[in-house]
Chains A and B, each alone.
Chain A
Amino acid sequence: MTDQPDPLRIDFHLLDRQIVDAAGEPVGKVDDVELTLNPATGRLQVTALLSGQQVLGERIGGRLGGLLAGIARRLHPVEHPPPLRIDLTHVASIGSAVTLTVHRDALPTPPLERWLGDQFIGKIPGAGHAGQ
């Protein structure tokens, strides 16, 4: 990481920021952040960004969050889907957006995006072309 805030304020600098890939294309929002207790040092480390409606729903909590997570689960083909987890080592910089070192194609396509592409949008003529 070359460009980073000092100190890193997790709520201010990370949570709810847009994640963009190396080309600047949107990947998702930082819906939560993974913290890990390092067993060797006993210290708490920031290890990954988590993204997806289910993570967001769990973070919001309550009935509203439950609803959001529930919808995300229902739209998902797998029973207990893992959230999109982006290791912090893939983060290039933290600015007005969180920029990754990788291209979005290297990340799993969000299930809803893929499902809509296969079942709905992709079937409409012209879906594969940008505007004329």
Chain B
Amino acid sequence: MKRVFAVTLGILTAIGGFVDIGDLVANSETGARFGMRLAVVVVIGVIGICVYAEMCGRVAAISGRPVFDLVRERLGPKAALANLTGSYLVTLLTLAAEIGGVALAIQLASSVSYLLWVPVAAFAIWVALWRVKFETLERVFGLVGLALVVFVIALIQLQPDWAALAGDATQLSPPDGEDWGTYGFYAVSLFAAAMTPYEVFFFSSGGVEEGWTAKDLLTSRMNVFVGFPLGGVLSLAIMGCAAVVYQPLGVQVDTLAQTALPVGIALGKIGLVVVILGFFAATFGAALETGLSSGYTVAQYFGWQWGKRVAPRQATRFHTVVIISVLLGVALLLTTIDPIQLTEYSLVFSAVVLPLTYLPILVVANDRAYLDDKVNGPLANTLGIIYLVIIVVVAVAAIPLMILTGVGQ
């Protein structure tokens, strides 16, 4: 019974923790502009993160090594240092975007400018990282993040023409008035929103920190294979809501208030309260994950003590990196750069750096010296190679598409 409870809790946490500022922005933007025509990319991205996270979870459980530790081992110090620079900067960009998302969510509830909330939110995030237990953080924000299920209810309440939405989803081409360039650009953003590098840094480091062993493989796999796809359903609901409300009016989405509006229209005040709470939890939780991940990448590259299981006094270099990262994130936001635009950039660069962390994991997941008999089977390897190709194509296309379309304008 206790085991069932733990598994259920893990799944719920994975669902709530799946959506972050990147998913909120990318899904509502694409829903408004392309209807459900890019829904298939969300599905591809979710399967991708399942393949990747399952490998990382297995490697973490059997070998006890988190992702960035292995990145240096497989790539050597020089290539891994270049990778570290890229991955750290992208994680930092994402951290800033998430802090901005927290501040924007509070603005929706208070009408006080988000810029004033940025330092407050950042301080709260740091205190949580400093004082609160890892498991508590993950559970609380994952579960409250489940509030975003309200998008599914809202979509049903909006009574869309389901057949039309489904038909739209099978059209793999841009609608009238949009070109292939922007279609491709948003496909990259959606893919990157589902397969963000920090998710696996966090997932694998969490596994190591919680001391996973082969016995925990089942739990880990349930979280991944049930939790992430259900999280993907939330993403699709966000996309669907935007498609139903905005696409007929030709309205493009570029604020968090717009992302929330369909829920208000469908469910009124209570729905709006729930969705704003969901935004807050999802971005706050993701800010914690990215904040920790910034420390994980650096500490694991250099072999420092890291994590929240020990007192900060025992991992001073790790905590210093985390503090500096939060401060840099705040500084970036206080330049008054639009957090939504920041999110768009963070997604593009996430796509660019992803292959460098994916490939070493795919290789290690085949190495019996690390995994013994738990190495990839034929299915994991077939999917692993298919996704390696997709990830490389997306990474190569990301920056040209960004420049070509002027960040999707």
- Identify the A interface with B (CB < 8 A): 5, 16-19, 24-29, 31, 51, 53, 56, 59-60, 64, 68, 95-97, 110, 112-114, 116-117, 120-122, 124, 126-132
Task: With A17-B73, A96-B369 as known contacts, state yes or no: A130 contacts B81, CB within 8 Å.
Answer: no
Collect the chain A residues with CB atoms within 8 Å of residue B134's CB: 131
Query: Which of B69, B76, B78, B313 contacts A121 (CB under 8 A)?
Result: B313
Collect the chain A residues with CB atoms within 8 Å of residue B302's CB: 28-29, 53, 56
Interface string of B289-311 (1 = CB under 8 A from A): 00000000001111111101111
Q: B58 near A: Cβ within 8 Å? A: no
Give how many A-B residue pairs fall within 8 Å (CB-CB). 100
A26 near B133 (CB under 8 angstroms)? no
Residue ID in chain B nearest A121 by CB atoms:
B316
B64 near A116 (CB under 8 angstroms)? no
A116 near B316 (CB under 8 angstroms)? yes
Interface of B is mostly: helix
Collect the chain A residues with CB atoms within 8 Å of residue B37's CB: none
A97 near B131 (CB under 8 angstroms)? no
Q: How far is the CB of B250 from chain A (nearest CB, A)?
A: 49
- Identify the B interface with A (CB < 8 A): 63-65, 69, 72-73, 76-78, 80-81, 130-134, 136, 299-306, 308-313, 316-317, 319-320, 369-370
A130 near B309 (CB under 8 angstroms)? yes
- Some 29 contacts from A to B, beta carbons below 8 A apart, are A16-B73, A16-B77, A28-B303, A31-B77, A60-B81, A64-B81, A68-B81, A95-B63, A95-B369, A96-B63, A96-B64, A96-B369, A96-B370, A110-B304, A110-B317, A113-B305, A113-B316, A117-B313, A120-B316, A124-B312, A127-B312, A128-B311, A128-B313, A129-B311, A130-B308, A131-B133, A131-B309, A132-B131, A132-B133
Q: How far is the CB of B320 from chain A (nearest CB, A)?
A: 5
A68 to B370, CA, bound (A): 30
A26 to B310, CA, bound (A): 11
Q: How far is the CB of B324 from chain A (nearest CB, A)?
A: 10
A124 to B126, CA, bound (A): 12
A40 to B26, CA, bound (A): 68
B136 near A131 (CB under 8 angstroms)? yes
Task: With A26-B305, A64-B81, A130-B311 as known contacts, state yes or no: A124 contacts B130, CB within 8 Å.
Answer: yes
A51 near B303 (CB under 8 angstroms)? yes
A68 to B298, CA, bound (A): 13
Greatest chain B CB density within 10 A among A16, A60, A128 is at A16
